[in-house]
Amino acid sequence: MKKLWLALGLVMGLGLMVSAGSTIAGFYADMVLNSKAEKRGMPPVVFPHWLHRIEFKCKVCHPAIFEMRSGSNDIDMNKIISGQFCGKCHNGTISWKPVQCARCHSGQPGLTTGPLLGVK
Amino acid sequence: MRRLSGFPRAWLFIGATVLIAAGLYACTLFNTQPPAANNQKPAQTITPRPPVTSSVGGAQTGDDYEDPTTLPEPGPPYAKENRDPSVIMKDFPVDSEGNIDWVKAFKDNTVHPHESLDLNKAPMPPFNFDIEIPAVGAMPNVIFPHFPHTYWLDCGNCHPSIFVMKRGANPISMVKIVNGEFCGRCHGRVAFPISNCTRCHVKPK
């Protein structure tokens, strides 16, 4: 009987180890933007908040460019290309142009708009 | 009792060792597969991508342009090493919970974030104004420090829409914070999580 429990525990432990060792699923403070992306046939956007925080204080973007509530910014590619929202910097002068789709549209399908980790 | 003495116990031990070794081997396999897949790609292209040090005024590299006729493949958010926070932020100071301590990071000059898109704009002078917020029961009171908040944010980010600028006028509670009101607008979502009780509840009664 004890042998059985030991085997069961080992199998479960093995499963835990394998699942914990899988690839990065995201980082704290990442935001998912998916109010339009998937409806229009693109993977959702995962915005890396803390990578931007290295270079810019919160006040640079909030609230002048982005409202501080997920889902309250009506962002689309036309607006970005014409210089609004992400396009304020991602225009080839301050940062790279939005020409490589997968650089932002990198989320797995089915993600909901809001923080990727932490409280929804 | 008899079954567990002598030979069976030895076999159990050997079996367990073999299984643990197999588990560790499987773990390393799963861990090394994605980087191995990533490492193969730069070998095909000519120039490896240099690590990103600053995104401001950075040069446009040619491999940022892709074939516009194909749709992107959905994948993990951090496909490249120079966009992986766990690589870029590996030397950043962390708090007791293991999250990056951004206040310590700017105080010890790890980060130098820009104040504005206008590079000539002078930074806001430090606003040292601490507020004591009484806590329920035996919890230590909260000391809200204005300074690290005004370093990152403007007054208008929080006042008056999230916090009314009058003592006692904000009915703050932990339930409301968990539900995304008051401090919870940022903490637990983008700023450090509220599970770190002692970072706010600092003043014993």
Sheet holding B201-203, edge to edge: B130-133, B141-145, B201-203
Lowest mean pLDDT of A28-32, B2-6, B158-162, name the range.
Answer: B2-6
What average pLDDT does range A58-81 have in this prediction?
94
The pLDDT tens digits for B53-86 are 444 333 334 444 455 555 555 554 455 556 677 7
Alpha helices in chain B (DSSP H): 7-44, 85-88, 102-107, 146-152, 155-158, 174-178
Residue in chain A closest to B72 (alpha carbons) equals: A102
Rounded Cα distance, B81 and B102, in Å: 22
Q: Band of the pLDDT at B34, cuts 50, 70, 90? A: very low
pLDDT at B62: 40
Among residues B29, B37, B30, which one has the least CA distance to residue B79? B37
Work out the percent of chain B whose per-residue pLDDT is above 70: 65
B152 closest CB neighbour out of A27, A59, A107: A59
pLDDT computed for residue A60 by the predictor: 95
Describe the strand order of the beta sheet including A45-47 as a list of residue ranges: A45-47, A31-33, A114-115
Judge contact between B192 and B99, C-beta under 8 A. Answer: yes
- For position B63, what pLDDT does the model report? 46
- Which of B:186-205 have CB within 8 Å of A? 186, 188-191, 193
Residue in B69, B89, B85 with CA at minimum distance from that of residue B77 = B85
- pLDDT number for residue B87: 81
Which residues does chain B have within 8 Å of residue A101's beta carbon, measured at their own beta carbons? 66, 71-72
| Number of other residues whose CB lies within 10 A of the CB of residue B89 | 19
Distance of alpha carbon B203 from alpha carbon A61, whole angstroms? 33
Predicted TM-score (pTM) of this structure: 0.69
Contacting residues of B for A29, CB less than 8 Å apart:
189-191
Integer CA distances (angstroms), A73 to A65, A113, B94, B153, in order: 9, 11, 31, 19
Are A41 and B83 an interchain contact pair (Cβ–Cβ within 8 Å)?
Answer: no
Phi and psi at residue B194, to the nearest 5° = -75, -5
- The predicted complex's ipTM stands at 0.77
- Smallest Cα distance from B168 to chain A, Å: 24
In angstroms, what separates the C-alpha of A11 from chain B's closest C-alpha? Answer: 8
By DSSP bridging, strand A114-115 and strand B130-133 are: unpaired
Please tell me the distance from the alpha carbon of residue A65 to that of residue A80, in angstroms, as a whole number: 11
Which structure tokens are listed for A18? 């394998």
CB–CB of A106 and B117 under 8 A? Answer: no
